[in-house]
Amino acid sequence: MVKLNRREFGRLVGGAGVAALSPVLFGHVAIAQGAAKIVIVGGGAGGATVARVLKSEDPQLDVTIVEERVIYTTCFNSNHYLGGFRTFASLQHSYDGLKELGITVVNDRAEDVDAAKRTVRLKSGGTLNYDRLVLSPGIGFKYDAIEGYSVQAAERMPHAWIAGSQTVLLKQQLEAMEDGGVVVMTVPGNPYRCPPGPYERVCMIANYLKTSKPKSKLVVYDAKMTFSKQALFEDAFRKYYEGIIDLNLTNEIDDFKVVRVDPKTMEVVTAAGIKMKASVANIIPPQKAGEIAQRAGCTEGDWCPVDPARFTSTKVENVYVLGDSSIAAEMPKSAFSANSQAKAVASDILAEVAHKKRFPPRYRNTCWSLLAADDSIKIGANYAPAEKDGKGYLKASGGFISQREETAVVRHKNFEESVAWYQAIILDAFNDKIDKPVKG
Ligand SMILES: Cc1cc2nc3c(=O)[nH]c(=O)nc-3n(C[C@H](O)[C@H](O)[C@H](O)COP(=O)(O)OP(=O)(O)OC[C@H]3O[C@@H](n4cnc5c(N)ncnc54)[C@H](O)[C@@H]3O)c2cc1C
């Protein structure tokens, strides 16, 4: 390929034309002079996959992940740890596999983005230049939506909705609780990370209480009227955990959205005015896009609008936003979705900067939920870009969901599938071949 420097390119298109060129064309000129620089903020399910695919498909690309954590702890399957079905170590993954592929991993926090200069400012003071920026920073919490809740309050009343020390804290609190204690869990309204996640957690905490603290109760206050896989979960609540779970869904009379908490007294208060003193309080607050997405100017309200065919930001040029931070409805916010979106993002970047063939995006999601030992259910669908009221979205098709009254063999097979999926996504995203024991 003939490489032109900026002056030669200017001569070809005419001096005045250079200044008038679109940023995309300028991007190509800068890229033609050396390896294209792709900076990815967030080395989780979405970001790590983008990096792994880009570098595998084109080793010449200069791919950098900015990730504030040295070890990534998966939220997915973290409920299994709470239920006693997984070790904590089995949820943890390093970036060594990605480094082996030649990906640069900068363990730092991205503080800001200058879209005009195409730079990312790091907490340590450094700056990274990019040709294309990918943001997959996951979620932030709307602490102010619940009076009394804060980063500090979460040290007494953990959310455990970003896995890591919060997950360990919740487990320790459950283990330290006396038999006969009351665990209170609060669930936000839509949209939030992992729609069926709270109800899988209900099963896993109830499983722990049933086996270790049988006189205890789990009280759930939910801001919603209905939830994902509801009939299947409610069957499991009755079949396995009768007398342990007290599920309170918002209805025409009572609003069970939690509005106030007091970490000193461990009191939880709902919009309907119900007060409950908790022995252990798992407060899952309302959520929004990871903070850097807002700083980069990519948010509209709480989340980031994107072109559903490419996951490019509709607000900031040369920036992609994927995973939980993006508005990708009808796709749910899940690791499976983020991994699927990452393939489309990588393909688009390869077409843009490395002139590879552009493939039409194919999106898919499956979410498994563990109800009890060997009993797992699933829901899933395919998604394609579509338009409604002049706005792009991802239209679901070919949806499937586990049936009620399925045989134990089917449910066991679902569980095996979910374990195989976990191993596959970890290899796909982190180039990490799992050798840690799943069970404790
Ligand atoms: C309890 C629970 C159970 C779940 N179970 C499932 C499941 O079974 N299946 C499933 O598919 N999904 C599941 N999920 C959802 C899944 O974990 C998320 O949807 C997925 O991780 C989203 O990927 P992401 O790349 O958007 O964000 P993340 O995976 O959270 O990655 C974001 C990364 O960005 C980093 N970061 C953020 N801001 C910055 C910054 N400014 N600078 C540097 N780094 C930054 C963070 O440290 C983090 O590592 C579950 C979630 C929970 C809470």
For tokens 């929004």, the residue is 288
Bridge partners, residue 133, by sequence:
39, 319
Bridge pairing between strands 182-187 and 139-141:
unpaired
Q: What is the identity of the amino acid at 65?
A: I
**Mutation to probe ligand 1, out of 298, 331, 334 (largest number of atoms < 8 A from CB):** 334
Instruction: Characterize 94-103 residue by residue with b for buried, 16 or more Cβ atoms within 10 angstroms of its Cβ, and e for exposed.
Output: ebebbeeeeb
Spatial separation of the C-alpha atoms in residues 173 and 154, rounded to whole Å: 12
**Range in 32-41, 149-158, 411-420 with the lowest mean pLDDT:** 32-41
Q: Who wins on pLDDT, 32 or 85?
A: 85
Do 130 and 120 form a contact (C-beta atoms < 8 A)? yes
H/E stretch holding 248: strand 245-249
Bridge partners, residue 267, by sequence:
262, 277
Of 363, 398, 351, 356, the closest CA to residue 379 belongs to: 398
From atom 31 of ligand 1, which residue's Cα is the shortest distance away?
Answer: 44
Binning the chain into helix, strand and coil, the percentages to the nearest 5 are 35, 25, 40
367 lines ligand 1 (CB under 6 A): yes
Could you tell me the pTM of the whole model? 0.93
Spatial separation of the C-alpha atoms in residues 28 and 33, rounded to whole Å: 9
**Mutation to probe ligand 1, out of 40, 75, 383 (largest number of atoms < 8 A from CB):** 75
pLDDT at 433: 84
From atom 50 of ligand 1, which residue's Cα is the shortest distance away?
Answer: 76
122 lines ligand 1 (CB under 6 A): no
Spatial separation of the C-alpha atoms in residues 92 and 188, rounded to whole Å: 27
Percent of the chain scoring above 90 in pLDDT? 89
pLDDT at 32: 44
pLDDT at 34: 66
C-alpha atoms less than 13 angstroms from C-alpha of 404 in its C-beta half-sphere: 11
pLDDT at 35: 87
Instruction: Provide the terminal-to-terminal Cα distance of the chain, rounded to the nearest Å.
Output: 55
**Range in 326-330, 351-355, 434-438 with the lowest mean pLDDT:** 434-438
**Mutation to probe ligand 1, out of 76, 82, 383 (largest number of atoms < 8 A from CB):** 76
From atom 3 of ligand 1, which residue's Cα is the shortest distance away?
Answer: 76
How many A from CA of 329 to the centre of ligand 1? 17
